[in-house]
Amino acid sequence: MVAVFVIATILVFLGVDYFVQRAERKGAVGRVPVPGPIRALSRLWAKTIPGGVLLHPGHAWGILQPGGSLRMGADQLVMGAIGPVDRITTPAAGSAVRRGEPLLTLWRADRSLHVMSPADGRIGDVNAAVLERPGLALERLYEPGGWVVELVPEGLETEIGRFKVAKDALRYIQDEILRLKSFVVQGGLTPVGVPAAVADGGDLAEGFLGELENDAWTTFSRVFLKV
């Protein structure tokens, strides 16, 4: 019953978004257009967000499955910040996980970022193909084959309002990328030569976290990956 409610909620969001966009296209003359594909920071952050993909404020993305589970990965802000990952680890299938505990961990050498679970639940499955070839998490970002771990949530109906979908997801990730720029510039955490480019409206380098000290990784996690 919960799964039916959640799926119906998502379908309502998508339906409203469709009709809003249709109306906007009809009345577009003399108006500022709705933003198209995301174009911000770097190539990795220029990904579009397909309809039906959910974004969580903790920077996990998910695709809702018919049974009510979520197949999830790390969104473009996280993947762009960390750059090419060496490995990805997850809790084992069948493990219990609590909201705010690591759902998946991205590793670059001996440093890592944890993407937290958006809800209590258990691990339904893991994507062995992505664990064997971590680059697929980026190559197939937001695609059915790019998920890392499947979360079977408990009480998702209480958390669904925190997820972003359709145009709300697009606006959310754009706002977060701008917030990240501000975070980098104002915090003085960037490598030499990058702050000026960002301040002038330039792009951060892909995987810029790899050039920073451990404290910067900790701060990034605290600011952007909490749930």
Q: Is the pLDDT of residue 34 over 70?
A: no
Confidence at 26, pLDDT banded by 50, 70, 90 = very low
Q: Is residue 188 part of a domain?
A: no
Q: Is residue 224 part of a domain?
A: no
> Range with the lowest mean pLDDT among 83-97, 99-113, 193-207, 213-227?
193-207
Q: Is the pLDDT of residue 10 over 60?
A: no
117-130 average pLDDT score: 97
Beta carbons of 153 and 68 less than 8 angstroms apart: yes
- At residue 106, the 3 state secondary structure works out as strand
Q: Is residue 91 part of a domain?
A: yes
Q: Is residue 47 part of a domain?
A: yes
CA dihedral 111, 70, 75, 134 (to 10 degrees): 50
The DSSP H or E segment spanning 72 is: strand 70-74
Higher pLDDT, 35 or 10: 10
pLDDT value, residue 183: 82
Give percent above pLDDT 70 in the chain: 72
How many domains are contained in the chain?
1
Q: Is residue 129 part of a domain?
A: yes
CATH of the domain at 119: 2.40.50.100
Q: Is the pLDDT of residue 147 over 80?
A: yes
Cα 167 to Cα 158: distance, rounded to the nearest angstrom: 21
**Which structural domain, as residue segments, surrounds residue 43?**
2-172
pLDDT tens per residue across span 169-224: 989 998 998 888 888 877 655 554 455 446 455 667 778 888 888 988 999 999 99
pLDDT value, residue 23: 42
- pTM more than 0.75: yes
Q: Is residue 147 part of a domain?
A: yes
- Residue 166 burial (CB < 10 Å; 0-12/13-18/19+)? buried
pLDDT value, residue 204: 75
**Residues in contact with 91: Cβ distance below 8 Å, sequence separation at least 6, in sequence order:** 97, 102, 103, 123, 149
Q: Is residue 120 part of a domain?
A: yes
pLDDT value, residue 95: 98
> Which alpha helices (H) appear in 66-117, and where do they start and end?
76-82
Beta carbons of 136 and 85 less than 8 angstroms apart: no
pLDDT value, residue 27: 39
Amino acid at 13: F
Q: Is residue 226 part of a domain?
A: no
Highest mean pLDDT among 23-27, 40-44, 163-167, 209-213: 163-167
pLDDT value, residue 188: 57
Here the tokens at position 76 are: 């473009």
In the chain, the N- to C-terminal Cα span, in Å, equals 26
